[in-house]
Amino acid sequence: MSVEVLSDKISLIDRARELMVEKIKSAIAQRDQCTIALAGGGTPKPLYEKLAQESLPWEKIHIFWGDERYVPVDHPDSNQKMVREAWLNQVSMPASNIHPMPTTGENPYTDAAKHEQEIREFFQCSAGEIPSLDIILLGMGDDGHTASLFPRTEALTVRDRLITVGNKGNSQRLTFTAPFINQGRCVIFLVAGANKRPALAQVFSPQGDEKQYPSRLIKPQGELWWLLDQEAGEEIASH
């Protein structure tokens, strides 16, 4: 596990850009493609805007989402909408390389199963296998959630699927499960702001409760990076 505490949000975003570009190029060098699952919320948006300025072989990059609010794609809360506007609309990435979570409005469980099938077909993996994405970018809420794995919810217990429904109060969401995230080759947390400090202390504490702080569930077989700004991570620096 690597932990980096950057002096401010601008430095944090630039370090995240640098790390993402490094891992994208490495994946393409090894497998001639890079599969990335993106986080939603507010922290990563400036990162996506910076990545849009990079010169990369976009046709070799496939974009997924680690979670999605169960709203139409044109809804202001849509993570898909945010990423397309901040990044994907600015680059020449083939439409077939973009794999949004379906939010048809029929039923989140049906859409979760549909997306799981789409992912299994993309990775050509059987029902029992868990595919590995090259990069999984995650945020963390001030309650310690990540993706849409919220404290003391059923989504935390799902072990036999890639995608499940994660509810935040009344708002329904689709989310990668912890086992799917943990199969990632390189998992990167991007966390900023003093409001995240208490949850971070619990996530990094030897005694923290993973049901209460679901980011503790993320123990990938591959690389785990925590990129923090000073406000969020000043007490974590020495880990």
Where does this chain touch ligand 6PG (CB under 6 A) — which range of 35-43, 51-59, 119-127, 216-224? 35-43
Cα of first residue to Cα of last residue in the chain, in angstroms, is: 9
Nearest-5° Cα angle at 232, 226 to 235 = 85
Instruction: Say whether residue 35 binds ligand 6PG (CB under 6 A).
Output: no
DSSP 196-219: GHHHHHHHHSTT--TTTSGGGG--
Instruction: Say whether residue 233 binds ligand 6PG (CB under 6 A).
Output: no
Contact 187, 125 (CB under 8 A): no
Q: Give the integer Cα–Cα distance in Å for 239 and 234.
A: 11
**Tokens matching residue 6:** 């950057």
Instruction: Say whether residue 139 binds ligand 6PG (CB under 6 A).
Output: yes
Contact 187, 218 (CB under 8 A): yes
Indicate the burial class of 8 (C-beta count within 10 angstroms; 0-12, 13-18, 19 or more): exposed
Q: What length does the chain have?
A: 239
**Tokens matching residue 31:** 């497998």
Min dist. Cβ of residue 190 to ligand 6PG (A) = 8
Strands 135-138 and 186-191: parallel
Instruction: Say whether residue 42 binds ligand 6PG (CB under 6 A).
Output: yes
Min dist. Cβ of residue 138 to ligand 6PG (A) = 6
Instruction: Say whether residue 79 binds ligand 6PG (CB under 6 A).
Output: yes
Instruction: Say whether residue 177 binds ligand 6PG (CB under 6 A).
Output: no
Instruction: List phi, psi (to 5°) of 66.
Output: -75, -20
Instruction: Say whether residue 102 binds ligand 6PG (CB under 6 A).
Output: no
Q: Give the integer Cα–Cα distance in Å for 127 and 124.
A: 10
Instruction: Say whether residue 43 binds ligand 6PG (CB under 6 A).
Output: yes
Instruction: Say whether residue 194 binds ligand 6PG (CB under 6 A).
Output: no
Instruction: Say whether residue 108 binds ligand 6PG (CB under 6 A).
Output: no
Choose between 41 and 179: whose C-beta lies nearer to ligand 6PG. 41
- Chain positions 54 to 73 lying near ligand 6PG, rule: CB under 6 A, are 67
Closest chain position to ligand 6PG (CB): 139
Instruction: Say whether residue 147 binds ligand 6PG (CB under 6 A).
Output: yes
Instruction: Say whether residue 80 binds ligand 6PG (CB under 6 A).
Output: no
Instruction: Say whether residue 40 binds ligand 6PG (CB under 6 A).
Output: yes
Give residues in contact with ligand 6PG (CB under 6 A). Answer: 39-43, 67, 79, 139-141, 145-147
